[in-house]
Amino acid sequence: MKKQNLILSLFLSAVMLAVSSCGDDEAGKASKEDVRAAFQSANDQLSDDLNSFTNSSGYEAMNQLSVLTDEDNPFGRKSSRKREQVIENLKAGVYAIRGMVKRSTANARISGDEPFNFNENKGVYEWNFQEEIFVRTDDSEVMEIWFPTEGSATNNAEFRMTAYEEELTPNGEELYSPTLIKASIFVDETKELELDAEVEYGNDDQPVKGDVYYFVNPFALEISFDDTESKSSSFSESLSKSGKVLIGFGATVNFQDASKDDDAISSASGYIQLADIKFTVKIKAPDSSSSGDINDFVTITIKVKSNVGGRIILEQDGTTGELVPYVKYTDGSTEPLEDLLEDLSFEIENMLS
C-alpha cells in the first residue's frame, strides 16, 4: 500500500497544482508493447543511475569538503516535485556553499557575520593535516581550496571558485545571501563537478528567481524557478546523464490574484518524466454537472518519445477507499501502474521523500 500511495502522489501532486492545461501537441501512438518496454527500460536504467549519482567522484569530493568545513552537502538534499521545496533546496544549497568558503578562509580575512568579499579572499588554501584546518598558502586570481578526498593522504582535490557575489538580506534566513556562484571541483586534475548558480531575492529577502546548473560527471542536476510575476509561478527540476533526462518535474501555474494561494489557481500545465516516459496532466474544473468521478475531469496521458501510449485512470479501492492508478493502453486493456514501475518506485521515493 505504501508503494501505491507513493505512485499516486506523483500524479495527484500535479493535479493539485492545476485546473486546466494547454492543448495536446500532435503525436503518434505507442503500442502496449512499446509502453511496457519503455517502463522496463526505465526500471533497468534509473534504478542504477539514481544510485550511481551519489557514488560519483565529484559528489563524493563535495561531500568530503562539506565534512571538512562542517557544512551540509550543498545539493545532497532530496529532489522535489513541489515548487516550495525546490526553492528551499536551492536556498540551502547556496547557503552551504557560502558556509564552505567562509570556513575555508576563516584563518584569512573573514569572521562572524561580515560580508564575504570574494576579491579580497582570492588565494590558495590548503588543508593542513596536522592542525586539521585550512591555511592560506599563496596568492591567486581565483579562490583555490585544496583538500583530500576520503582516504587520501594528500590534497588531491581542488575546489575552484571563479566568481561570487552576494547581497545584504536582513529579513532573510541569512544576513548575506549569494546571488552568483561559479565553481568547480577537480580530482586528480580531472574536472568532476561544476556549479553555476544565479539567484534573485524579493522585497522580503526570499528567493524569487533562480537557476542552478550542477554538473557531477556524468550527471547534471538543473533547478529553475521564477516567482517574479505577480500572478504566475514556474519551476522545474531535472536530473540527466550525458545529456539525457533521467527524471524530471516541471509546472507553470497561473493564479487569479497575487496571493498565489492554492485556492486562487486558475490554470496550469505540468509534467513528470522518467527517462523516455513522460506523464502530462490535463484538468478541467469540475462544476455542478460533474459526475464526481475524478477521471471525468483529470486526464493523465502517457507518452513514449512523444507518442501517446495510453492514460492513467484512477480507481477507488473498495476496501481502503484510496485511489489506485492503472494504465489504460491505447488498445483498451488495463494494468496496475505499480506492476510496471516495479522497484523504480522505491528509488523515486528515496529521491523525493
- pLDDT given at position 4: 43
Q: Among 157-161, 261-265, 290-294, 347-351, whose mean pLDDT is lowest? A: 347-351
Residue 180 identity (one-letter amino acid): L
Residue ending a domain, choose from 166, 191, 217: 217
Residue 236 and residue 319 in one domain? yes
Q: Are residues 72 and 213 in the same domain?
A: yes
Domain that holds residue 288: 1-52+232-353
Q: Is residue 197 a contact partner of residue 94, using CB atoms and an 8 Å limit?
A: yes
Region label for 114, one of left (φ > 0), alpha (ψ between -120 and 50) or beta (otherwise): beta
Confirm if 248 and 11 have CB atoms less than 8 A apart.
Answer: no
Kindly state whether residue 227 falls inside one of the protein's structural domains: no
Q: Based on the fold, state whether residues 173 and 317 are members of the same structural domain.
A: no
Rounded distance between C-alpha atoms, residue 325 and residue 4, angstroms: 8
8-state DSSP, 78: P
Residue 131 clears pLDDT 80, i.e. is over it: yes
- Residue 225 counted as domain residue: no
Whether residues 283 and 194 share a domain: the answer is: no
Does some domain include residue 222? no
- Can you read off the three cell numbers belonging to residue 104? 575555508
Q: What are phi and psi of 83, to 5 degrees?
A: -55, -45
The residue whose grid cell reads 455542478 is 288
Task: Please tell me what DSSP assigns to residue 263.
Answer: G
Residue 343 and residue 47 in contact, taking contact as beta carbons nearer than 8 Å: yes
Q: Indicate if 203 and 110 belong to the same structural domain.
A: yes
- Let me know whether 6 and 78 are in one domain: no
If one counts the domains in the chain, the total is 2
**Do 264 and 297 fall into the same domain?**
yes
Q: Does a structural domain hold residue 226?
A: no
Is 238 part of any domain?
Answer: yes
CA dist 185 and 160 (Å) reads 6
Q: Which of 150, 182, 217 delimits the end of a domain?
A: 217
Query: Do both 248 and 261 map to the same domain?
Result: yes
* Per-residue pLDDT tens over the stretch 108-126: 444 446 788 899 999 999 9
Residue 223 counted as domain residue: no
The enclosing H or E element of 245 equals strand 244-255
Q: Which one of 217, 252, 282 terminates a domain?
A: 217
Q: Within a domain: residue 224? A: no
Whether 288 has a pLDDT exceeding 80, the answer reads: no
Distances (CA, A) of 53 to 49, 50, 149, 214, 231: 6, 5, 17, 12, 36
pTM of the predicted protein model:
0.79
